[in-house]
Structure 1
Amino acid sequence: MITRWLEGVSCIDNFPDPEVELYFLNRGCWRRICGVGPHHHIRCTLLSQAFVNGAVHWFGCDKVAASDISILTFDMSSEVFCEMKLPTGLENEWVVAHLAVSVLRESLCPCHFDSLVSKVSIWVMKEYGVVQSRTKLFTFDLGSDFGGILGFRRNGDLLFLRKNRMFSINLESQQVKDLRIRKSGKLKSLYVDTYMESLVFL
């Protein structure tokens, strides 16, 4: 299934309730979900999301208090939105662009970029849904030209942007490798996602 919602914008501090729809690959059609719209606004320019434990995860800010940021989840089975608190130490973070959410070895993995000191911190939720199980794995410096986190490879290496090019870093040795994949000038021109084979169309 694919999730999408449309948001109307009347002013910066007033986001109307979105229309939420699911696309079913086996049926080839969209179905609108009524009365379950999220209470958060997701910045469409960030496009940081993760699918783990049967739910999609994004970072979002409260529609009334834009500085109130949390992890928004949508369970594909129950079709219900929920939210998770930020990891300890990020409660005062108010810039959504400094945050990313990904999956590391089937565990939810929030990431944070501190622009003041050019450092990236990575947490992992060892037991899904249990806030106390989140621990900080690594903190390292990727330089002032760091352009954003893209996700993780199957071997655990972190993929990120630097000067419009994709790099990987081994979290243990912190060895950086240029993957020679270049991003175009457009903001949304480069994505990373998990490829999974499916027989749904056969």
Structure 2
Amino acid sequence: MPLFLFTAIDVLHQLGLVKDVQQPSEAAVPSTSSLLPQGVRLTVSGVVLTSDAHIESPIIQVLPSSLGHQFTVLVGLYSYKINNAFLFSIRNKSRLQFGVQLLPRKVVVFTGGKHSIYFDYSVHNEKWHSFAIDIRGKTVSIFAECGKKRYSREVLSEVETFDLDALFTLGRMNSHSVSFEGVILLVMKTAYLIKLQEKFMQYTDVDTDP
């Protein structure tokens, strides 16, 4: 059987939210470059965001320009507070190119322009949630509960290619909007990885979790 090397983009690592970054302490004064951003804590479960967290970075430092129109967002989260915050957003100035919003009873995926897709899936119920948002051209799908729940919607046009000067914001739509409060794990898989996985599963002829 051939060996496939599966890799993915750990968004939190790309944003510098990693274990070797020191957390603020009154006993020591490390350099500012080694400190976590305000409102951020690291735990075994993931990255904890509070209401005053603001994590933003140029898109080119987070995601590859070759991401294209086919990719999957793998999410693990535990919400501490019910609100309308974004899980993350990708913006060029005031224009939203892509984003995921967590409403009280729905997950909304924004695919650029004024296009948005609403899915009947709630993450604000004091439970840990793991789900995947899959972008395949004009089809947007969400997989939850290890594939037991699946929703798909069609959009009018494909997801825009992200501008090189766009910004990636974690836990908010922008600096003025409400913040997600809770624990986050976030990974993105590129089309190349997705195709490798499809070929692998065709070869082994078994089903996979999302």
Same-fold status (TM-score > 0.5): no
Structure number having the greater helix percentage: 2
**Could you state the TM-score of these two structures normalised by the residue count of structure 1?**
0.36
Structure number having the greater strand percentage: 1
Q: Which one scores higher on RCO, CA 8 angstroms, separation ≥ 6?
A: 2
**Could you state the TM-score of these two structures normalised by the residue count of structure 2?**
0.35
